[in-house]
Amino acid sequence: MKRVILILALIASVGMYAQETNPTYEVEGEMVKATYYHENGKIAQTGFFVNEKLQGEWKMYNEEGRKIAMGQYNNGVKTGKWFFWKGEKLNEVDFDQNKIAHVIQWSNAEAVVLNK
């Protein structure tokens, strides 16, 4: 019963935050899959919540449906490699406890910027 109340509270709190995007929620085992939409009906982002915190892989898309970002959350914190696409460029960003640790910018399959 406690789990059901927790899931309903999570859905209500996220629903109030992103009301304009008509989100959908699906319970998948211990996780809740959330999908948010652009006004044109295309998916804006999708990912999971566990215990009201972002968890696992999240993907974000622009209004045309092209992927613009992808990465992992662990207990609500960005972690590991994240990828951000903008035009022909790809930024590979390493996160450590929600902080940027390393960035590589790729253009035409070659690294053009390296920051540590």
pLDDT at 8 over 80: no
SS3 7: helix
- Residues in Cβ contact with 103 at an 8 Å cutoff, skipping those fewer than 6 apart: 91, 92, 93, 94, 113, 114, 115
pLDDT at 2 over 50: no
Greater confidence (47 vs 19) lies with: 47
* Cα 79 from Cα 95, distance rounded (Å): 5
pLDDT, mean of residues 26-33:
95
Amino acid at 102: H
Tell me if 86 sits within 8 A of 104, measured CB to CB. no
pLDDT in tens, 41-56: 999 999 999 999 999 9
pLDDT, mean of residues 29-35:
95
Architecture of 2-115 per CATH? Single Sheet (2.20)
